[in-house]
Chain A
Amino acid sequence: MPAVSKGDGMRGLAVFISDIRNCKSKEAEIKRINKELANIRSKFKGDKALDGYSKKKYVCKLLFIFLLGHDIDFGHMEAVNLLSSNKYTEKQIGYLFISVLVNSNSDLIRLINNAIKNDLASRNPTFMNLALHCIANVGSREMAEAFASEIPSILVAGDTMDSVKQSAALCLLRLNRTSTDLVPMGEWTARVVHLLNDQHLGVVTAAASLITTLAQKSPDDFKTSISLAVARLSRIVTSASIDLQDYTYYFVAAPWLSVKLLRLLQCYPPPEDAAIRSRLTECLETILNKAQEPPKSKKVQHSNAKNAVLFEAITLIIHHDSEPTLLVRACNQLGQFLQHRETNLRYLALESMCTLASSEFSHETVKTHIETVINALKTERDVSVRQRAVDLLYAMCDRSNAKQIVAEMLSYLETADYSIREEIVLKVAILAEKYAVDYTWYVDTILNLIRIAGDYVSEEVWYRVIQIVINRDDVQGYAAKTVFEALQAPACHENLVKVGGYILGEFGNLIAGDSRSSPLVQFNLLHSKFHLCSVPTRALLLSAYIKFINLFPEVKTTIQDVLRSDSQLRNADVELQQRAVEYLRLSCIASTDILATVLEEMPPFPERESSILAKLKRKKGPGNLPDIDDARRHVNGSTEHSEITEHTKKGSTHPFDDPLNLSSTPSTGASLLVDVFSDSTTLAPVDVSEENFPRFVCKNNGVIFENQLLQIGLKSEYRQNLGRMYVFFGNKTSTQFLSFSASLNVHAKTVEPIIEGGAQVQQILNIECISDFTDAPLLSIQFRYGGALQNIAVKLPVMLNKFFQPTEMTSQDFFQRWKQLGIPQQEVQKIFKAKHPMDTEVAKAKILGFGVALLDGVDPNPANFVGAGVIHTKNTQVGCLLRLEPNTQAQMYRLTLRTSRDSVSQRLCDLLSEQF
């Protein structure tokens, strides 16, 4: 008998669905749906009380309409009423509606919670399960608050039915994921571990999932689970299929549970106890052995289930990374899979081998498969698999095979899918640099990269090649020769022109001896590309020209003629025009000596982590742990000496065009980029002054710190994601401050080391907002006054809202966007007491100072304030809407912020709410 008989459906529902399916056009469908919605609405609103059956029917219709992609904004109340029905079918449909169409309306949540509470207390396992399902599916904070303490007791109670235990375990797991802080640890944890011994394999499976998650967070509390898990696994794997109830799936004993247990063991290092350890090794060997046995069924399900366990076992072996024999066996097994006819297995084998490649025991074995992997790159039909092959080649690369792998990746790049080209470019660039024995190979590789996939070569890549060429004088001549040759091609990528312009400008003299690349030939070659290039590249070329004037006095007049032409001197672009004017002037009035000093060869770049590597890391995300809340927050601040001589500063007046001063490349030593937040250990142990910090949320200038000796004033200006801050240090005494330094953590880039009594010195900080952040940078100041060393730390008022650009919008736009940002995490609301007199004009000024645009006539209540703006960071822009509702009677405010990013909403709300 079928479990669902087809005849007993609801007729009205079937008719409606058939109508929809018969609709010939989208319009007809919408019309029919609207008619039905109106019908249901009137039924719900009508005087006649609906019976359970009708309610159920209408709720089903709403569900169907929702599935088709239409908004449902009513019916929630009826669904909640169904929850308290004592008929199973009505209750069930009510819960279904709630979990599909959950609404963060808090009144409703309270009613739902009430119904859940009753069902949990009902001792009816079916009802309890429905309630637990609902909690797990919705998983909201309110629910966690209401039930997190109750569920553990249901889970471990002796008289709880198996099916309820299963649900309770997963429900707790879900709450632990969404609101960890609310799930109390306690004496129940020990009893949960013992569920691994439960008779019912479904309960064991659910418990294993729960324990895995809990053990990731607090491994010590669940250490006892290791021995239980190994014992259970051993019974499944090694014994014949007894006591497995129905959990044998296509001749494989409890595959799902085996996978879960193996996952759980991955939370821990290899067991310390020798007996347990050897028992586990025995299990793993058995699993590996079984892979070699002939299959018990030809069905794909059989091999899937068997291999699911096998892959998990291999992952555990890799994770333990302690048994060389097992590792080598695992590697050989994966090697077999690399050539398997099942695409899925090839995919997974490539993926697992990637992690295996990093183990010292198996790295060499992995390398033996290089030909197979390269072959996969060439012949696999599926882009997902090819992508894994690229990853594996990257992982198995070392000095011995780098040339081969880089060559293969380059040739694959010519035909690679567009979606993965940028990643391959980064990988090639990194490998070429990391394993370069001679740098001529490196230069060739990068130029090839630009030739093959110029569009996918990001700035980091070509900055890096320039950094390396500048730092290594053994490769400079070769680089100049190679770019010169590459530029001969009639059509070359703009990135090549950039690299070429830069390198010839610096090192063109190294090849000028050859008449085929004489100065004039070089210049003409570069200039032939000039008109095809974008403004930033042209600006770079102009800089190369002025460098030529220094390198080759014989082409001075030719270049001056070019600079003097109308297309340069009167160029519509102000940047180009300015460069042309300045360079021309410089070449006319400066003596050869001065020219030689101003246009000296670039000094070497300090060694630091490759910016390309950083980029790849960013691209690949924070790693594979899904639970880690990775909010990378950092701001790059560059401190600049206040007395930089004009010529060394030239680059920094054009920060958008020149690689000299962009990214993490300190160029002249005059500007030094400091990663303000990267190194939190160096915070000075002195008290941090932040009392004036909040005053700067809505304004940019003022005094941030003052004591008897020193006054620190700030002036700052911000535009989009960039900012500049002038810091003024005033000596209030009549004595000198000696050895004065003000630094953003480690780097003591000094201000004027002596401040005369009564005098003031200035420091300029350049700020760039990379992504959203919470912490502000610390400025630590040290100086000697009299004999005593003074230590001061000041929290600089660089806050997220400084990077606001106000946005004007109409009322309609505002509400549309407000609605779009409707996910609960996107909204942050705070209700707080007014700390200052509630004055409309002051409030307005504060909101404007906060950085958003004040929107008039949007809110129906004129007393409310509504604002909109966009936060600019280097990586993204975050739109932000805010609403401030004053209640003068209660002397309270309610502040609501909605942005597309929860961390931003929270931070902005915290900042602004302190201001009223």
Chain B
Amino acid sequence: MIKAILIFNNHGKPRLSKFYEHYSEDTEQQIIRETFHLVSKRDENVCNFLEGGMLIGGSDYKLIYRHYATLYFVFCVDSSESELGILDLIQVFVETLDKCFENVCELDLIFHVDKVHNILAEMVMGGMVLETNMNEIISQVDAQNKMEKSETFIFQSTRQDR
């Protein structure tokens, strides 16, 4: 099971945090800091897996991460997940973001937190992998956007009426 999905930048600023297990707000922030500390001190080209920090449950959990330009994508998982599989999943996630935002960059994640959450929700649900097929994910996201567009249109016309 995936326990948490974290995205932060090279300075440790969180850009997305999604916990599938309940922690207090303080603990969540501490976990983000601890994870950043663990991951950021690692060289490039070392392996993408390491044992989880104390707060997240120690050596029973693994951190599986990828570093893209300015952002770290970190999945914290238990032993029931395939390490390479999760690595693929991160790749699918990033490629999907890239398609949805056209050359995704850190700013997109900042200004569209809700969208990023929605895309992630199409892939992972309650800590379990829901969908790995990028085309399927994108078509779901497209469908959502269409609904959103149609509603925005109604919206704006009614707003102007007022």
> Residues of A with Cβ closer than 8 Å to B?
2-6, 8-9, 13-14, 17, 21, 51-53, 60, 63-64, 66-69, 71, 87-89, 92-93, 96, 100, 102, 126, 132-133, 135-137, 139, 163, 166-167, 170-171, 173-174, 177, 201-202, 205-206, 209, 212, 245-247, 249, 255-256, 259, 263, 301, 304-305, 307-308, 311-312, 343-344, 346-348, 381-382, 384-385, 387, 620-621, 624-626, 820, 822-825
Contacts of A14 in B (CB 8 A): 111
| Binary per-residue interface labels of chain B (43-58) against chain A in the complex, 1 for a CB within 8 Å, 0 otherwise | 1011111110000001
Given known A3-B99, A624-B79, A626-B79, contact A384–B50 (CB-CB < 8 A): yes
Contact A246 B88 (CB under 8 A): no
Contact A174 B29 (CB under 8 A): no
What is the CA–CA distance of A903 and B131 in the complex, to the nearest angstrom? 36
Q: Is the interface of B mostly helix, strand, loop or mixed?
A: helix
What is the CA–CA distance of A93 and B147 in the complex, to the nearest angstrom? 14
Contacts of B126 in A (CB 8 A): 133, 135-137, 139, 170-171, 173-174
Contacts of B25 in A (CB 8 A): 66, 69, 71
Nearest 5 Cβ contacts at the A-B interface: A136-B126, A308-B84, A174-B126, A382-B46, A343-B47
Contact B110 A17 (CB under 8 A): yes
Contact B133 A201 (CB under 8 A): yes
Contacts of A174 in B (CB 8 A): 125-128
What is the CA–CA distance of A245 and B159 in the complex, to the nearest angstrom? 43
Contact A166 B131 (CB under 8 A): yes
Given known A71-B25, A301-B91, contact A100–B130 (CB-CB < 8 A): no
Contact A170 B125 (CB under 8 A): yes
A328 to chain B, nearest CB (A): 23
A-B contact pairs, 17 of them (CB 8 A): A2-B100, A4-B145, A67-B16, A89-B148, A137-B20, A139-B126, A171-B126, A173-B126, A173-B128, A256-B129, A263-B80, A304-B87, A311-B84, A348-B49, A384-B51, A626-B78, A822-B24
* B72-94 contacts to A (CB < 8 Å): 78-80, 82-85, 87-89, 91-92
Given known A88-B148, A206-B130, contact A96–B118 (CB-CB < 8 A): yes
Contacts of A263 in B (CB 8 A): 80, 82
Given known A96-B117, A624-B79, contact A163–B140 (CB-CB < 8 A): yes
Contact B43 A381 (CB under 8 A): yes
Contact A92 B118 (CB under 8 A): yes
Q: Considering residues A4, A202, A256, which has the most beta carbons from chain B within 10 angstroms of its beta carbon?
A: A4
Partner of A348, one of B45, B83, B113, B129: B83
> Residues of B with Cβ closer than 8 Å to A?
1, 14-18, 20, 22-27, 29, 32, 42-43, 45-51, 58-60, 78-80, 82-85, 87-89, 91-92, 99-102, 108, 110-115, 117-118, 121, 125-136, 138, 140-145, 147-149, 151-152, 155, 159
A690 to chain B, nearest CB (A): 36
A724 to chain B, nearest CB (A): 34
Contact B132 A348 (CB under 8 A): no
Contact B84 A304 (CB under 8 A): yes
Contacts of A137 in B (CB 8 A): 20, 125-126
B25 to chain A, nearest CB (A): 6
Contacts of B42 in A (CB 8 A): 382
Contact B144 A92 (CB under 8 A): yes
What is the CA–CA distance of A163 and B130 in the complex, to the nearest angstrom? 9
Given known A202-B136, A304-B87, contact A621–B26 (CB-CB < 8 A): no
Contacts of A139 in B (CB 8 A): 20, 126
Contacts of B131 in A (CB 8 A): 166, 202, 205
Contact B82 A311 (CB under 8 A): yes
List 17 additional contacts besides A170-B128, A384-B49, A624-B79; criterion CB under 8 Å: A2-B99, A3-B99, A4-B108, A21-B110, A68-B14, A89-B151, A92-B114, A96-B117, A170-B126, A171-B126, A173-B126, A247-B133, A259-B82, A263-B80, A304-B91, A311-B82, A348-B84
Contacts of B27 in A (CB 8 A): 823
What is the CA–CA distance of A139 and B110 in the complex, to the nearest angstrom? 27
Partner of A88, one of B83, B88, B115, B144: B144
B102 to chain A, nearest CB (A): 4
Closest chain A residue, CB of each to CB of B87: A304
Contacts of B23 in A (CB 8 A): 823
Q: Considering residues B29, B49, B142, B159, which has the most beta carbons from chain A within 10 angstroms of its beta carbon?
A: B49
A239 to chain B, nearest CB (A): 18
Contact B14 A823 (CB under 8 A): no
What is the CA–CA distance of A96 and B113 in the complex, to the nearest angstrom? 10
Contact A245 B133 (CB under 8 A): yes
Given known A344-B87, A820-B24, contact A384–B151 (CB-CB < 8 A): no
Contact B113 A60 (CB under 8 A): yes
Contacts of B148 in A (CB 8 A): 8, 88-89
B56 to chain A, nearest CB (A): 13
Closest chain B residue, CB of each to CB of A137: B126
Contacts of B47 in A (CB 8 A): 343-344, 346-347, 382, 384-385
What is the CA–CA distance of A177 and B125 in the complex, to the nearest angstrom? 14
B121 to chain A, nearest CB (A): 6
Closest chain A residue, CB of each to CB of B140: A163
Closest chain A residue, CB of each to CB of B83: A348
Contact B46 A343 (CB under 8 A): yes
Contact B133 A202 (CB under 8 A): yes
Partner of A621, one of B50, B60, B92: B60
Contacts of A135 in B (CB 8 A): 126
Contacts of B133 in A (CB 8 A): 201-202, 245-247
Contacts of B118 in A (CB 8 A): 92, 96
Contacts of B138 in A (CB 8 A): 3
Contacts of A255 in B (CB 8 A): 85, 88
Contacts of A820 in B (CB 8 A): 24, 26
Contacts of B29 in A (CB 8 A): 69
Contact A133 B125 (CB under 8 A): yes
B90 to chain A, nearest CB (A): 10
A901 to chain B, nearest CB (A): 14
Q: Considering residues B20, B88, B134, which has the most beta carbons from chain A within 10 angstroms of its beta carbon?
A: B88
B156 to chain A, nearest CB (A): 9
A882 to chain B, nearest CB (A): 19
Contact A4 B159 (CB under 8 A): no
Q: Considering residues A201, A246, A256, A387, which has the most beta carbons from chain B within 10 angstroms of its beta carbon?
A: A256
What is the CA–CA distance of A9 and B145 in the complex, to the nearest angstrom? 12
What is the CA–CA distance of A811 and B60 in the complex, to the nearest angstrom? 38
Given known A3-B145, A137-B20, A385-B47, contact A87–B88 (CB-CB < 8 A): no
A489 to chain B, nearest CB (A): 35
Contact A2 B101 (CB under 8 A): yes
What is the CA–CA distance of A136 and B60 in the complex, to the nearest angstrom? 23
Given known A201-B133, A381-B43, contact A3–B114 (CB-CB < 8 A): no
